[in-house]
Chains A and B, each alone.
Chain A
Amino acid sequence: DADVTQTPRNRITKTGKRIMLECSQTKGHDRMYWYRQDPGLGLRLIYYSFDVKDINKGEISDGYSVSRQAQAKFSLSLESAIPNQTALYFCATSDLYRGRETQYFGPGTRLLVL
């Protein structure tokens, strides 16, 4: 079984709709991240969370919100989707050990906003 799962894997939605992308992990990690990937722009950080009560904005958080329902679950919401939010979305998890940290990524959600 995969350590980091994302649902749905593919989603088509219309402008103005609210949608939620979900991420679950079985790695037991405290830290979770949401990234988006666009051709030519690489991976960019949207939000991150270090525990259930800790939520922080990344470099491109406008138009997005998140919820950390449990240590293992971190959801990303698009309040009112717009076409330029069409992208690949990745969840990642990590653990900090002796000052060192490695992020492990989920399989991604391909989102198309019409």
Chain B
Amino acid sequence: EDQVTQSPEALRLQEGESSSLNCSYTVSGLRGLFWYRQDPGKGPEFLFTLYSAGEEKEKERLKATLTKKESFLHITAPKPEDSATYLCAATTHGSSNTGKLIFGQGTTLQVKP
């Protein structure tokens, strides 16, 4: 069964304290790996898509990387406004005709000033 697992469930950082969120996947033929940010009471906001191992993408303090088994979302010198739940999701070649996203449970990040 295709599965996406995120760790940790929750992460508390001090402002400026860099860290990484993990997304491990066991799917039958990864097509794309997606990162979203979700603020309380709001819809997921698209951040990145990664398609092949070794690929990296950056946006401000965030950098996403992909290996054959997992993806990392690195947060460099976070600020309180980076506090949110970060969701990881995958599509597979088998699901490409449905567009189905397989979501992880999310990591809730709190950055304290």
Contact = CB atoms under 8 A, between A and B. Distances in A.
A102 B36 CA distance: 11
A56 B30 CA distance: 22
Given A56-B98, A58-B100, A100-B51, A108 B106 contact: no
Chain A interface main SS type: strand
A33 B49 contact: no
Given A42-B105, A100-B51, A102-B34, A107 B43 contact: yes
Interface bin, chain B: 20 to 34
A34 to B, nearest CB: 12
Interface of B: 32, 34, 36, 41-46, 49, 51, 87, 89, 91, 96, 98-101, 103-106
Interface residues of A, number: 27
